[in-house]
Structure 1
Amino acid sequence: MNRPVMPQPDPAAFIKANLQISPVPSIPEILLHQAGPASGLWRLAGRRQADPAPYWAYPWAGGAVLARHLLDRPETAAGRRVLDLGAGSGLVAIAAAKAGAMAVAAIDIDANAIAAIGLNAAINSVNIAAVAADITEASPPETDLLVVGDLFYDPALAVRVMGFLRRCQAASIEVLIGDPERAYLPQGELRRIATHAVADFGAGGGAAQAGVFTLS
């Protein structure tokens, strides 16, 4: 006998009801809906093997270091078109908008992340165009600055992302990567331009010395 399939809740309604709004550790200027022990995130995340893990529900060091960098150096984004690849909660995209970006797009493969980005943009009073897509095999986007936070945690993903970033570099798009030196970060192909101590969910919420890198 087949068990009945339980309908998944509406992502935006679930996030508003269960993920508390709080300042991002190390980045008090930005508020996000963040998951906690009682959030029941499994009800939204899905049970199929193909469903993306809910990385968007937590602040990771790679995104935090980029957000901190953009807020501290607003001239990096001011007046420019910015695209946040693998945007998760929208933390980096929000920082770019607060830094004065002309237009900000946030791309993630997880539709739940896109719902979270919309809510998080609203509570921070910024405008972000959020799209659920995988653009790593596509042509370089129409943007001036591409920001990538914490996408080098998986070997196959790291190779695919790096190939895309090289194509963007060849198209004269500036690329900034934020990462706490995860296992598959290709450090030999990068140049560190800044380091910030930020909280990292991947380290149990403890501090991490994360870097901001450009392509060498």
Structure 2
Amino acid sequence: MLAPVRNRTALADLEREIALPGTGLDRLRLMETPFVPEVRLHLAEDAIVWWARMEAAAGGRLPPPYWASAWAGGQALARYLLDHPELVAGRRVLDLAAGSGLVAIAAALAGADQVVANDIDPYAVAAVTVNARVNGVRVAATADDLLDSTVTADLLVAGDILYDAALARRVLPFLRRAADQGAVVLVGDPDRGHVPPGRLEVVASYPVPTTEPFVDSPVRRVQVLRPS
């Protein structure tokens, strides 16, 4: 059973982890994002080892720390926003399944008027908070499940969100509704096999360094997509 974690507890946990002295595979450290060096993130040296130590300390299961790695889809999307600030400047941005907050932070750096980062994992919300702080930008973070709600953003971004078939079946209609309501929608996807043919079109493609666990290549080809 998952141990209950509230946002404030998660933030305190991460701030304590960041302040821990020493180095090792079970530590977080502040580092430049490989494909987006403009953004620094608190990431795990080894997310699996860090997760195991935190679960042992909590005495129960915790959500997988997806926020503790710079996923390829998020790196590509963040790179695209920074290279095309005209898409972002002055707009309200929603970063869905924000993880570390990389894409949200890139949007803020590119001149967004307002940025909201959303993730249902309280530790991801905490990670967005500490990462936005260290990059000197303002990002609001929320843990609400938004997939059945109405989008109120000008630009909706989602990096590496289509990693699971069941999740893709919920996310894709949400993206379509957002586009139909007038939002610009951009998705960073390293071809995990859950994009139906003809639903999304390619606007950019990058070779991105991989940092996430269990990868068999140091570089992945990642596409930035939008609803067709």
TM-score w.r.t. structure 1 length? 0.89
Q: For the Cα contact (< 8 Å) 2:119–2:143, is it kept in 1?
A: yes
Amino acid at match of 2:39: I
Q: For the Cα contact (< 8 Å) 1:62–1:180, is it kept in 2?
A: yes
Gaps of 5+ in 2: 21-26
Moved more, 39-48 or 185-194: 39-48
TM-score w.r.t. structure 2 length? 0.85
Question: Is 1:166 aligned with 2:167?
Answer: no
In 2, the alpha carbon distance for the partners of 1:47 and 1:155 equals 30
Question: Is 1:185 aligned with 2:195?
Answer: yes
Name which of 170, 191, 195 aligns with 2:205. 195
Write out the 4+ residue segments of structure 1 that deviate beyond 3 Å after TM superposition. Answer: 7-10, 43-49
CA apart distance, 1:13: 2.3
Q: Percent identity, aligned pairs only? A: 45
SS in 2 for 1:213: strand
**Structure 1 residues 40, 163: CA separation in 2 closer, same or farther (over 3 Å shift)?**
same
CA apart distance, 1:204: 5.3
In 2, the alpha carbon distance for the partners of 1:181 and 1:64 equals 14
Name which of 19, 29, 33 aligns with 1:20. 29
Moved more, 29-38 or 69-78: 29-38
Task: Give the aligned partner of residue 208 of structure 1.
Answer: 220
Q: For the Cα contact (< 8 Å) 1:11–1:44, is it kept in 2?
A: no
Question: Is 1:103 aligned with 2:114?
Answer: yes
In 2, the alpha carbon distance for the partners of 1:205 and 1:98 equals 30
Question: Is 1:58 aligned with 2:60?
Answer: no
In 2, the alpha carbon distance for the partners of 1:84 and 1:107 equals 6
Gaps of 5+ in 1: none
Query: What do you get for the CA RMSD once the two structures are aligned?
Result: 2.2
Q: For the Cα contact (< 8 Å) 1:58–1:89, is it kept in 2?
A: yes
Say how many residue pairs are matched: 209
**Structure 1 residues 204, 101: CA separation in 2 closer, same or farther (over 3 Å shift)?**
farther
SS in 2 for 1:83: strand
Q: For the Cα contact (< 8 Å) 1:193–1:212, is it kept in 2?
A: yes
Per-residue Cα deviation, 1:153-176 (whole angstroms, up to 9, x for no partner): 111100100011111112111100
Q: For the Cα contact (< 8 Å) 2:88–2:111, is it kept in 1?
A: yes
CA apart distance, 1:188: 2.4
